[in-house]
Structure 1
Amino acid sequence: MTMITMAMNMNTMITVTGITITPMTDFRSNTALVRLMTWLSPAFPVGAFSYSHGIEHAVHGGLIHNKDTLHAWLTDLLHRGSIWNDAVLFAASWQDATEGNTCQYIAALGEAMAGSKERHMETMLQGTAFLQAIGPWDVISPEPVSEVPYPVAVAMISARNGIALEAGLAAFLHAVLSNLIQGAVRLVPLGQTHGVALMAAMEQPILTVAQRAAASCLDDLGSTAILSDIMAMQHETQYSRIFRS
C-alpha cells in the first residue's frame, strides 16, 4: 500500500475547536504529499543531518561495518526500538491533536523516554525547530511554540493540516531512516548504491510499521534495542566525532 493510497482511505471529518478539518483525499493536486515532502525534506531547517542516533559510535566500535549490519541495526530500531516508540508517540499525538488538544502529556512522556543526554537533545531540538519553521502551514496555532519531541511536533501539524495518520507516519518513518542511512553512508563508509538499496529494502517494513503504529496506543511503547541506547550514551564521550548524537 502506497502513502497516497493510505491517505485516500482516510475520509473522517475532524472537528478541532470549532474548525472542521477533512483529511486530504484529493490527490489530484497532491497537496498532502507535497507538504509531507517539504516538511520532511533534508532541506527543512530542523538540523536532522547533524544527528546519527548513536550510529556513529556503533560504527566506531565495529558493530556496524557494512550494508548488512546497518540493515539489521535499522530493522531493530524500527520494529522494537526508539523508532518504533517515535511511531507510537506520533500516532497518539495525531489522535490527540484531532480532538483539539495540545499533546502536552504525550510530549512530556516522549521527552522522559529519551534514553541519553544526546538522544534528548536530538528529539527536543528537532521538534522545537520544526514548530518554529512550520508557521506558514500551522492552520490553527492555539498555543505558542513550545519544546516538544520531534515525532509529536510533526504529528500535531499533520493532524492540523488534515493529513491522514498512516500517510504522515509513513513519511515520518521514511525521513528518519533515510537520514540515518545517509549518515551511515559517510561513516562506514558505504557507497550510494548501497544506501539506495537499503532504502528499497526498508520500504515495506516502513509501511507495515506505519499501519501497526496507527492502531497502537501508549501502552505499546517499549524498546528492546538496548545496545542502541548504550551506543548513544557512549557517543557523548567519543573523542573525535562528526555527528551531535
Structure 2
Amino acid sequence: MGTAGLWGTITAIPMNTEHLLTLTQWLSPAYPIGAFAWSHGLERAVQRGDVANAAGLADWLDAVLTQGAGRSDAILLCAAHGADDVEPVAELAAALSPSRERRMETLQQGAAFASTTRAVWALDLPDMAYPVAVGRAAALMGLPVVPTAQVWLQSFASNLMQAAQRLMPLGQTEGQRILAGLLPVCAAIGEEAAQSTLDDISTASFAVDIASMQHADQYPRIFRS
C-alpha cells in the first residue's frame, strides 16, 4: 500500500536487518558528530527559567518537534532522500537556520556525519546540513524514508534529553519516560514529512529560536548552542 506525496507514490518498504542496523549505527550517540556539544537553545531556556522541571521539558521538546526544527528538518531529510539534485535542499536547510549558533549546529554536525559516512561506506556525500546529509545517505544506501525520518527525530529528541540531564535535576528514569511519551509524535511527524513538500516547511517555535539567539551571549555555559 502506498500514499501519494511530493515524490509520487510512497510505498511502505519493510526495513531489512542490514538497513535497521545501519540506521541505528548512524543515529547512535556513539556516531562521531559531536551532538553532545549542542543544546539547541535549551541551555538558555533552563537558565532563564522557561524549562524548570520534567513537565516543562516535555512541553519544550514537544514544541521543538511539532512546531520547530523537528518537523522542518524531517521534511528536509525526506526531500533530500527523494531529490535527484540535493544541493538546493542543502542550501535551503542552511538558510533556514534562525541563529548563528543553530546554523553552526546543523552544518558542523552534518559535516561530521558526512565525513564519517564517506569514510566507512564510500558514499558520494558532500558536507551539508545534518538532516539533509542523513536523508541523502539513506537514499544512497537504500534505506526507506519514513523510518529514517522517525528514528532521526527520536535521536534528535534523545540528544536534547541528554543535554537536559546535564542542565537540570532530571533522573534517568524520568528522562526515558518523557522520551517514551514522544514516540507517537516522532512517528506521526516522520509519516507527515514523507508526504510533504518544501513549501510545507514552517515553524512557530519563537521562544526556542529566541533562546538560541540569546545563548550566544550567555556566560557561563557548557554547550555551543
TM-score (norm 1): 0.84
Q: 2: distance between equivalents of 1:205 and 1:26?
A: 20
What are the Cα deviations for residues 111-136 of structure 1, in whole angstroms up to 9, with x where unaligned? 00011110000000000111100022
User: Is structure 2 residue 162 aligned with structure 1 residue 160?
Assistant: no
Q: Which residue of structure 1 lines up, in the alignment, with residue 187 of structure 2? A: 207
1:58 to 45, 50, 54: 45
2:12 to 10, 13, 28: 10
* Amino acid in structure 1 at the alignment position of 2:139: A
* Amino acid in structure 1 at the alignment position of 2:96: M
Q: Which residue of structure 2 lines up, in the alignment, with residue 220 of structure 1? A: 200
* Amino acid in structure 1 at the alignment position of 2:90: A
Q: 2: distance between equivalents of 1:223 and 1:26?
A: 30
Q: 2: distance between equivalents of 1:132 and 1:46?
A: 9
Q: Which residue of structure 2 lines up, in the alignment, with residue 40 of structure 1? A: 27
User: Is structure 2 residue 116 aligned with structure 1 residue 127?
Assistant: no
1:32 positional shift: 0.8
Q: Which runs of 5+ in 2 are unaligned?
A: 1-10
Q: 1: distance between equivalents of 2:15 and 2:132?
A: 25
1:26 positional shift: 6.1
Which aligned segments of 4 or more residues in structure 1 are displaced greater than 2 angstroms?
Answer: 135-139
* Amino acid in structure 2 at the alignment position of 1:186: R
Q: 2: distance between equivalents of 1:26 and 1:77?
A: 27
What are the Cα deviations for residues 9-61 of structure 1, in whole angstroms up to 9, with x where unaligned? 634xxxxxxxxxxxxx463xx11110011111111110001100000000000
SS in 2 for 1:134: helix
Q: Which runs of 5+ in 1 are unaligned?
A: 1-8, 12-24
Q: Which residue of structure 2 lines up, in the alignment, with residue 111 of structure 1? A: 94
1:83 positional shift: 1.3
Taking only the aligned residue pairs, the percentage that are identical comes to 38
1:240 to 212, 220, 223: 220
Number of positions where the alignment pairs a residue of Structure 1 with one of Structure 2: 214
What are the Cα deviations for residues 49-94 of structure 1, in whole angstroms up to 9, with x where unaligned? 1100000000000000111111111111111111111011011111
Q: 1: distance between equivalents of 2:26 and 2:126?
A: 18
* Amino acid in structure 2 at the alignment position of 1:77: V
- Structural mapping, 1:48-87, within 5 Å: 48-87=35-74
Q: Which residue of structure 2 lines up, in the alignment, with residue 92 of structure 1? A: 79
1:171 positional shift: 1.1
Q: 1: distance between equivalents of 2:203 and 2:117?
A: 30
Distance 1:225 1:180, change over 3 A: same
Q: Which residue of structure 2 lines up, in the alignment, with residue 137 of structure 1? A: 121
Distance 1:207 1:138, change over 3 A: farther
- Structural mapping, 1:172-183, within 5 Å: 172-183=152-163
Cα RMSD (Å): 1.2
Q: Which residue of structure 2 lines up, in the alignment, with residue 4 of structure 1? A: none
Q: 2: distance between equivalents of 1:147 and 1:160?
A: 15
* Amino acid in structure 1 at the alignment position of 2:24: M
What are the Cα deviations for residues 183-216 of structure 1, in whole angstroms up to 9, with x where unaligned? 1012122111111101110111110111111101
TM-score (norm 2): 0.92
